[in-house]
Amino acid sequence: HMMITTVRGKFAQVEGELELDENEPRKSGGEIRVAAASLSTGFDARDQHLRSADFFDVETHPWIAVRTTSVGPKDDGTYAVTADVTIRGVTKPVTFDVEFLGTTPGMRGGRHVGFTAKAKVNRKDWGLNWNMALEAGGWLVGDDIKLEIDVAADEVAVATAAQSQGAEAEGATAAA
C-alpha cells in the first residue's frame, strides 16, 4: 500500500466442506466459499472501495470460491495443495503450501482439525486491475498478494450411502 506498507484484510464469512484422509492425504480435498462483501481491513473507506467494481465487484460476484484439485506431500512434512480459485468469475489454479496442525477431539463429537495455507498470487490474474500512480512514482496498490488461510474445522457426519465424513471451515485471512 503506497509502496511502503502492508494492508491486511480478513474475510469474516467463510463456509465449506473438507474431506480429510490422514492415511492417504492425496485423497483429501474440499471446497470453500467466501462472501466477498465480508472483507474487512479495518478502514471503512478502503473496504468500500475493495467491494466496488474496481476490485471484487461484490454486487455482481458475491462469492469467492476455492476448490481443491490435488494434494501432494512435500519432503518437509507439509503439503502442496492446488486449488481452483474463482474471483470475479475468473478461475485460476493456485498452489498453496499447507501445514497440517493436527487433530483433537471436537466439541460436537468427531475430530477438530487445523491447518494453515499460504500462497502468493498476482491480483491482476483475476481482473483486480485498479491502481493509481503516486506523485513520487510507483503505484498505490502492489500486484502481488500474499494469501494466508487459517482453518479450524469440526468433523460432522454426512448422510450418504458410504457414510463419508465432512467438515465445516471457519476463517480465512489475506494480506496484501
On whether residue 3 sits in a domain, the answer given is no
Dihedral sign, Cα of residue 93, residue 40, residue 16, residue 60: negative
Give the pLDDT band (50/70/90) at residue 109. confident
* DSSP output for 100-134: EEEEEE-BTBSEEEEEEEEEEEEGGGGT-----B-
On whether residue 2 sits in a domain, the answer given is no
- Where does the chain show beta strands of DSSP type E? 8-11, 14-19, 29-35, 39-40, 63-73, 79-87, 90-105, 111-122, 144-157, 165-168, 172-175
CATH number at residue 122: 2.40.128.110
Strand partners, 112: 104, 154
The count of other CB atoms within 10 Å of the CB of residue 4 is 6
Mean pLDDT of all residues in 87-92: 98
The count of structural domains within the chain is: 1
Spatial distance between the Cα atoms of 41 and 10, rounded to a whole number of angstroms: 6
State the residue range of the domain holding 63. 8-175
Instruction: With a cut of 50, say whether residue 167 has pLDDT above it.
Output: no
List, for residues 14-63, the tens digit of each pLDDT value. Answer: 999 999 888 898 999 999 999 999 999 999 999 999 999 999 999 999 99
In angstroms and rounded to an integer, the radius of gyration of the C-alpha atoms of the chain is: 18
